[in-house]
């Protein structure tokens, strides 16, 4: 009877610890989602020198024009039209900044960069925006992290690799963090999703170092999967939790 009593006590302790962990996780997700929900429009710029200088940590969202970037931002912030999701990919030609945190004491910024790679955009515009994005990712002093949107069905394309070459040195040095979201994951079955994760991790292993803060996750705006986890990653970057 004593042995059974010890076993039951240990089992109760294990259950209690698991419940505490789940409660802590739920609280952390709620805190992170509450923070992303505070996002509000600050300014827009068509050139790098038009962006306001800031001491606030900045997280940039980048990705191909059809990777679901604007939709992902709207889903993360729980706002339907914070980031303009055009029916014509490649239309947005500006860097849009959003403040987060208390209205009178913002603590961070989101930067929505133009989508890249859409065929209908004139070559001159493509080259101009390639230069703007390269310079932004290379020299923007307040840049804390980058969220790279990759269509989970396509994986890394040559354009995504080119973008990684812009920000790779800063990620590799540890000065900039990277979160790769494999979007539209609801289009994949379980084995395809697992394969997409493995392929993305292998791709990043070739371009970053062990010291780099790099994460990869499946994401679906439609199913709302991966949203809370992504919000917690971004929240931890800013609040150092």
In the prediction, which pLDDT does 85 show?
Answer: 57
Res 118 pLDDT > 50: yes
In the prediction, which pLDDT does 94 show?
Answer: 82
Task: Read off the pLDDT of residues 188-205 as tens digits, 9 standing for 90 and up.
Answer: 999 999 999 999 999 998
* CB atoms closer than 10 angstroms to residue 133: 21
Q: What share of the chain in percent tops pLDDT 70?
A: 83
Q: Is 10 exposed, middle or buried (0-12, 13-18, 19+ CB in 10 A)?
A: exposed
Greatest distance between any 2 Cα atoms in the chain: 81
**SS3 category, 51:** coil
Provide the mean pLDDT of the chain.
86
CA distance 205 to 208: 6
CA distance 11 to 199: 39
In the prediction, which pLDDT does 88 show?
Answer: 47
Task: Read off the pLDDT of residues 40-51 as tens digits, 9 standing for 90 and up.
Answer: 999 999 888 899
The pLDDT confidence band at residue 172, using thresholds 50, 70 and 90, is confident
The CATH number of domain 28-239 is 3.40.50.300: yes
The pLDDT confidence band at residue 120, using thresholds 50, 70 and 90, is low
Task: Read off the pLDDT of residues 7-56 as tens digits, 9 standing for 90 and up.
Answer: 455 566 556 656 667 777 899 999 999 999 999 999 999 888 899 999 99
| Total-model pTM | 0.86
Helix 123-139 and helix 158-173, axial crossing angle in degrees, nearest 10: 10
For the chain, domain boundaries: 28-239
**Tokens linked to 19:** 């419940």
Res 129 pLDDT > 90: no
Give phi and psi for 182, each to the nearest 5: -85, 95
In the prediction, which pLDDT does 223 show?
Answer: 95
Give the mean pLDDT of 209-225: 89
Task: Read off the pLDDT of residues 61-113 as tens digits, 9 standing for 90 and up.
Answer: 999 888 888 899 999 999 998 987 555 444 457 899 999 999 999 999 999 99
């Amino acid at each position: 009877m004593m042995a059974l009593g010890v076993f039951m006590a240990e089992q109760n302790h294990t259950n209690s610890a698991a419940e505490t962990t789940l409660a802590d996780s739920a609280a952390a997700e709620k805190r992170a989602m509450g923070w992303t929900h505070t996002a509000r429009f600050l300014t827009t710029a068509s050139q790098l020198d038009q962006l306001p200088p800031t001491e606030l940590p900045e997280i940039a969202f980048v990705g191909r024009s059809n990777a679901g970037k604007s939709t992902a931002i709207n889903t993360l912030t729980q706002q339907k039209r914070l980031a303009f999701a055009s029916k014509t990919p490649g239309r947005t030609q500006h860097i849009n900044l959003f403040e987060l945190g208390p209205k009178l004491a913002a603590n961070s910024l989101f930067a929505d960069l133009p989508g890249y790679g859409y065929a209908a955009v004139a070559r001159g515009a493509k080259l101009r925006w390639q230069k703007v994005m390269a310079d932004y990712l290379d020299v923007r002093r307040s840049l804390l992290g980058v969220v790279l949107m990759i269509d989970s069905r396509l994986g890394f394309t040559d354009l995504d690799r080119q973008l990684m070459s812009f920000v790779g040195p800063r990620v590799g040095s540890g000065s900039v963090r990277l979160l790769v979201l494999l979007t539209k994951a609801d289009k994949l079955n379980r084995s395809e999703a697992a394969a997409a994760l493995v392929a993305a991790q292998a791709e990043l292993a070739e371009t970053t170092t062990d010291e780099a803060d790099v994460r990869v996750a499946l994401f679906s705006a439609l199913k709302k999967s991966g949203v809370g986890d992504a919000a917690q990653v971004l929240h931890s970057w800013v609040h150092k939790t």
